[in-house]
A and B are shown apart, each in its own frame.
Chain A
């Protein structure tokens, strides 16, 4: 077992989360659980991005005060060791987007519940085919 294994299994975890989320969206009866399925898919994609930025045996790509004071030149050693931080920036954006989508979806869930007095998909989307 080493760091590279962590990367592979992390991708597998993300894939499983994606499948669980998709399953929840397609097969779950309860609206709130469908919403959680959407959240899980977003989390799975975030995990893929984070894992692709991960470097086995690397360091966190943040230049602390200590490192800054002791550094000489262009932080060459730091750049070699640090994880790739561009995906992390993308993930931060996606987390915020995911949270706002989730909030809108939950609001809609409440509205639909008030209308139909049920959270069941078959009751709410019954006459909605075609």
Chain B
């Protein structure tokens, strides 16, 4: 256990991305190095001790913790902090990414070095956004994440993927511009970029019109990165244009960015109630609207995409309540939902790979062919919808509890409504794929879906299932530590 390993979580995937890109074309090399790199990516967060790491300029007094330095002339270093929350999020991302990489190297005849390289790049970028304590570095890695996510989707090919990626990059350009604009205004006002320093410099009051503009611009960036209301259709387009396993990775990354940037916003301007009110309102709109849109879809991938957006709205509700309980519940739900949603996306990935379609009007009668898959998918659906023994129940219950505690019992009702809508939408998908009679289209195309799942898919599904049940039955050791983190977010407000 060594806190010197912290930079490795970002630097190693970046180096691996460059090497994989260079290896493109050499099949064996890409396969072997891709697998080895994923093992390292999985291992590093587990082997790293908690602490913080400074890139670049170092403080004069090494004994002084970096966040205590408020003299801007000295603290030009980029600070990465690593604690329980960061460990959980980075490890979760590594697990989902491992599945995407391994399913690519084991299923495809020709592995693509560039594709794996882009996955590595997005791992590095999102890990950095999760850990970083420097607002400009956050912007840089948000942009890298946007480009690499678009690139992963482009790799799937097809007009839909190109269109979704084009839209995503154009709006990403606007959002990135507005984030950097906000950072420029903050830099001009306070002269520092370190988030702990900015937190002290802002000092519990937001009143200056320049700073208010910066708040608005940064919130726009947050809305885009987490797919909240005005940008929900861009994210859902992106998920549904990607291959479903990639969509699992993308929605995990979205939720991690939502949590990471949301916490940064709350640390900087948490006491400014207009900001949290806007965030809360838009999150609720996303949650309800996403669930309604999910019900109307006729394609399983689009249905899941809108459910993922709706769940991101639910996480946003927890985070933007601004109370310690709400933030803890929001973070907890982000983790639980990323797991359960990934489970669903991977079951659909399997169907999509075999049937070559995810159109709900064509699918049908899979229950007798693949009962094991049906069982795993129903677990995912129950977990996402917050049915008791599973993990999302624990967090959704806590979100509702915290809305009531924060004085908005109406919100609790809306959250329950959104959950029911999600459940109905997902059950519609399940019914049309598994329960109803086999459609003539499926019979004609002789789709070979058997109970024998590929080893990689089965392993991923079982691991995610066990995680769902495990966190659902024993949430407390996990939740307590997240609650500790959440207590510290709003310090000083």
A interface list, Cβ under 8 A from B: 18, 21-22, 25, 31, 34-35, 37-38, 41-42, 44-45, 48-49, 52, 86-87, 90, 93-94, 97-98, 100-101, 104-105, 108-109, 111-112, 115-116, 124-125, 128, 130
Contacts and interface: CB of A to CB of B under 8 A. Distances in A.
B126 interface: no
A130 B289 CA distance: 12
Contacts of B140: 93, 97
B166 A105 contact: yes
A34 B167 CA distance: 10
A23 B15 CA distance: 39
Contacts of B169: 38, 101, 104-105, 108
Interface in B132-170: 136, 140, 143-144, 146-147, 150-151, 154, 159, 162-163, 165-167, 169-170
Chain B interface size band reads: 20 to 34
A87 B166 CA distance: 29
Contacts of B177: 18, 21, 41-42, 44-45
A88 to B, nearest CB: 12
B233 interface: yes
B170 A130 contact: no
B233 A108 contact: no
A37 B170 CA distance: 9
B38 interface: no
Given A45-B177, A115-B159, A108 B154 contact: yes
Interface of B: 76, 136, 140, 143-144, 146-147, 150-151, 154, 159, 162-163, 165-167, 169-170, 172-174, 176-177, 180-181, 183-184, 187-188, 193, 233, 237, 293
Contact of B187 (A52, A94, A124): A52
Contact of A124 (B143, B163, B172, B183): B163
10 contacts: A34-B170, A37-B170, A41-B174, A44-B177, A49-B184, A49-B187, A98-B173, A101-B143, A108-B169, A115-B162
Nearest to A110: B162
B173 A41 contact: yes
A111 B166 CA distance: 10
Contacts of A105: 166, 169-170, 173
Given A48-B181, A48-B184, A101 B136 contact: no
Contacts of B154: 104, 108
A12 B237 CA distance: 36
Contacts of A38: 169-170, 173-174
A37 B183 CA distance: 21
